[in-house]
């Protein structure tokens, strides 16, 4: 009976050991699966992070190109605006030049007309009596003084117009230089923004 008891206990221990070994194998399998799942999840997380970083880098690069292209478009538009302003300034100076030449031509025509009238009066006076000649002499002196006054007035007007023309041309150059400085400063600012 004791031998049977011992044999039975021996089998019990053997089976218990086999059950423990089987349970241990199952536990190891579970741990391996959990470890594999954990590594897979970590791998996905790392891949997702890398994908997100690449996408952010692409977005930043795209934004950088957008800023560069926008800056180039602004600079080109500014150059076109400067060209338009120069053309308009040149056209204005041309119009002013035509007006001055027309005024000078009108003044010369008036002088010629006045001179012609003076000769007409002279010839008429020669045909009249001495008293009429004396009267014409007085009129000629008055006409001469008037022409002198008109001549001074015309020279004053011409000097004023030339001064105004020089002032406008000077202001045009000032605007041109200021525009060129603004364009240069804008290009420097764009260069700084691209470096940043």
Tell me the percentage of the chain whose pLDDT exceeds 70.
95
Residue 132 has pLDDT above 80, yes or no: no
Q: What is the pLDDT of residue 38?
A: 92
| pLDDT confidence band for 99 (50 / 70 / 90) | confident
Q: What is the pLDDT of residue 1?
A: 60
Mean pLDDT of 124-151: 80
Q: Which residue has the tokens 């009976």?
A: 1
| pLDDT confidence band for 40 (50 / 70 / 90) | very high
Q: How many other CB atoms are found less than 10 A from the CB of residue 23?
A: 10
Q: What is the pLDDT of residue 129?
A: 64
Question: What is the Cα–Cα distance from 46 to 59, expressed in whole angstroms?
Answer: 20
| pLDDT confidence band for 28 (50 / 70 / 90) | very high
Tell if the pTM clears 0.75, that is, is over it. Answer: no
Q: Which residue has the tokens 């045009």?
A: 172
Who wins on pLDDT, 111 or 37? 37
């Amino acid at each position: 009976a004791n031998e049977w008891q011992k044999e039975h206990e021996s089998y019990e221990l053997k089976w218990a050991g086999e059950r423990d070994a089987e349970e241990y194998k199952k536990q190891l399998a579970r741990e391996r699966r959990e470890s594999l799942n954990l590594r897979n999840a970590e791998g996905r997380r790392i891949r997702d992070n890398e994908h997100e970083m690449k996408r952010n880098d692409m977005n930043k690069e795209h934004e950088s190109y957008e800023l560069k292209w926008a800056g180039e478009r602004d600079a080109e538009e500014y150059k076109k605006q400067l060209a338009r302003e120069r053309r308009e300034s040149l056209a204005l100076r041309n119009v002013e030049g035509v007006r001055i030449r027309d005024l000078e031509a009108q003044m010369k025509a008036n002088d010629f007309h006045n001179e012609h009238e003076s000769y007409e009066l002279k010839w008429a006076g020669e045909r009249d009596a001495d008293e009429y000649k004396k009267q014409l002499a007085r009129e000629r002196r008055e006409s001469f003084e008037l022409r002198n006054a008109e001549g001074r007035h015309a020279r004053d007007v011409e000097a004023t117009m030339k001064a105004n023309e020089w002032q406008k041309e000077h202001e045009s150059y000032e605007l041109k230089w200021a525009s060129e400085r603004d364009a240069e400063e804008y290009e420097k600012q764009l260069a700084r923004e691209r470096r940043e």
